[in-house]
Chains A and B, each alone.
Chain A
């Protein structure tokens, strides 16, 4: 009885989670420039348009460039900070860690407005570099948290074992610590990448009128006339996210990354 209830409940959640995605995928296949569901006639022309029309290609390119570089920058900030915090438990490292977490916890509009006033003052308002750095800071939380988890998974005796076998600090880092943390770095990067790709308000405030990213482009088309291309973009995004997280789930330990204990500990 309660098992049935549980399954009905899970089914309902699954329906609500996937419902919007199903409708969007259907709409993206419409043959005519209308948003019908179920679609009227099947065609892939809106996917072709996404990949050929400059008005869509430029935002795609912008978004990919920003996501790629900003997550790399976020990673470069997170790695030394997480390492330092793991190696030396001192209060100022902890404070810096909290600082790195906070952009993600505050309502984004506040951080976005901060960035806006900063870039206007510095004179880089409207440049892509402003979006990149802002995204790097905004999403530094993700690699910071995952990499810290990675460092915590390294038992201190493992480091000591390497030392007794003749490895100095640099060799220990290169042969033990870095390889053990690498999967966590990749996941942190992937998290930041996907979220940067989807971010709207910071990108909009910092350079919304000059550097059009995909979310900005979609919102603009939403306001100035619907087109099924929007649906095809959405489908591509969902698939991309599912692919990336699916890969993490397949090759990494997703439950552990999200805070569950080791399978052996359970």
Chain B
């Protein structure tokens, strides 16, 4: 099948394990994000794919061709580095057409191609500038144009937006996504910013501090159905409640029975589990109203940031956070007794 396959990839630096048992299949034409906290091995994994590192174990296949031992300069990939790594001694145009120069393409064609690429990233007219004369956002675009010059089989990006300020960063995310869709190039982006991963990608690969892949799926899938507590906690915010399995569709949390609409397969009675509920799924009602799937507590804090309202409920030893729109804001204030409703469909059961 067409795409990039990683088989049992392991990478050690001396006694330090950077990547552990990674097996992935990334289909063609997709925008994939490697997401994880710093030190989880996501950059190393990208460098392994680029050929800048050799795996200690495992194979890398591209369209069923083994490229594990192909050196970086023969892979025909395009990569954007965290530092951007633009050549300070070359002009913008020379930077962009560098890979053509390496492939001994004629000067005129190189310049023509550089123009096209600069048009593509909206930098027309800057072809003869020096790198030092560009702004941060412009350098970013040059680095992207440069990596796309040979129409690479894979477009790799290592946290390229991390140096930009928040506003510019969001613009660039959108632009990058549209560029990728237009060119339909298989793209892998490494980031530690889950918002960035969610907005841009078709597929998210979540890596954890144990240097393993925890989950791979579409952003929505990962958000709605996190595979484990790490993913639930790392992607967005989540109420994580420890409990035990007390029936075919029931978990008991601190004496309260919660009905669950979907249970993982093969869950035995009395198994300790974690229930994850997203804050926006939790409804808060004033006072203590009896009913199913409810937890009771007092309001410890109300955070109103204008676009949304967060209510923190102290339920005697654990905390529930609820998020709502300003319109649906519950009529409670700090110190009030309140009830949190956890709909059965919103409760995701994770093995502890």
- Does A touch B (CB under 8 Å) in the complex? yes
Is A175 part of the contact surface with B, judged by Cβ < 8 Å? yes
One of A155, A160, A175, A179 near B72 (C-beta < 8 A): A160
One of A163, A166, A168, A176 near B87 (C-beta < 8 A): A176
Is B102 part of the contact surface with A, judged by Cβ < 8 Å? yes
Residues in chain A near residue B225, CB distance under 8 A = none
Is B223 part of the contact surface with A, judged by Cβ < 8 Å? no
Is A21 part of the contact surface with B, judged by Cβ < 8 Å? no
Complex-state Cα separation, A167 to B88, whole angstroms: 17
Complex-state Cα separation, A163 to B79, whole angstroms: 10
Contacting pair B89 A164 (CB below 8 A): no
Query: Per-residue 0/1 for A140-183: is the Cβ within 8 Å of any B Cβ (1 yes, 0 no)?
Result: 00000000000000010110111111111001000110011000
Contacting pair A165 B85 (CB below 8 A): no
Complex-state Cα separation, A160 to B50, whole angstroms: 10
Contacting pair A161 B103 (CB below 8 A): no
Interface of B is mostly: loop
Q: Known contacts being A161-B79, A164-B78, A175-B98, is A155 close to B73, with CB within 8 Å?
A: no
Q: Known contacts being A171-B102, A175-B102, is A161 close to B76, with CB within 8 Å?
A: no
Contacting pair B89 A179 (CB below 8 A): yes
Residues in chain B near residue A162, CB distance under 8 A = 87, 98, 102
7 residue pairs, one from A and one from B, having the closest CB atoms: A165-B99, A161-B85, A157-B85, A164-B79, A163-B72, A157-B81, A166-B102
Contacting pair B89 A165 (CB below 8 A): no
Nearest CB of A to B47, in Å: 8
Contacting pair B73 A161 (CB below 8 A): no
Complex-state Cα separation, A165 to B150, whole angstroms: 8
Nearest CB of B to A49, in Å: 46
Q: Known contacts being A157-B81, A157-B85, A160-B85, is A166 close to B103, with CB within 8 Å?
A: yes
Complex-state Cα separation, A119 to B54, whole angstroms: 51
Q: Known contacts being A155-B83, A155-B85, A158-B85, is A164 close to B102, with CB within 8 Å?
A: no
Contacting pair B102 A165 (CB below 8 A): yes
Residues in chain B near residue A179, CB distance under 8 A = 89
Complex-state Cα separation, A167 to B156, whole angstroms: 17
Contacting pair B101 A164 (CB below 8 A): no
For A167, the closest partner residue in chain B by CB is: B102
Query: Per-residue 0/1 for B93-106: is the Cβ within 8 Å of any A Cβ (1 yes, 0 no)?
Result: 00000110111000
Is B234 part of the contact surface with A, judged by Cβ < 8 Å? no
12 A-B residue pairs with Cβ-Cβ distance under 8 Å, sorted by A, are A157-B83, A160-B52, A160-B79, A160-B81, A161-B87, A161-B146, A163-B52, A164-B77, A164-B78, A164-B156, A165-B102, A165-B146
Nearest CB of A to B161, in Å: 16
Q: Known contacts being A164-B72, A166-B73, is A175 close to B101, with CB within 8 Å?
A: yes
Complex-state Cα separation, A157 to B86, whole angstroms: 9
Contacting pair B102 A158 (CB below 8 A): no
Interface centre among B51, B74, B82, B88 (most CB of A within 10 A): B88
Contacting pair B81 A167 (CB below 8 A): no
Contacting pair B87 A164 (CB below 8 A): no
Contacting pair B103 A164 (CB below 8 A): no
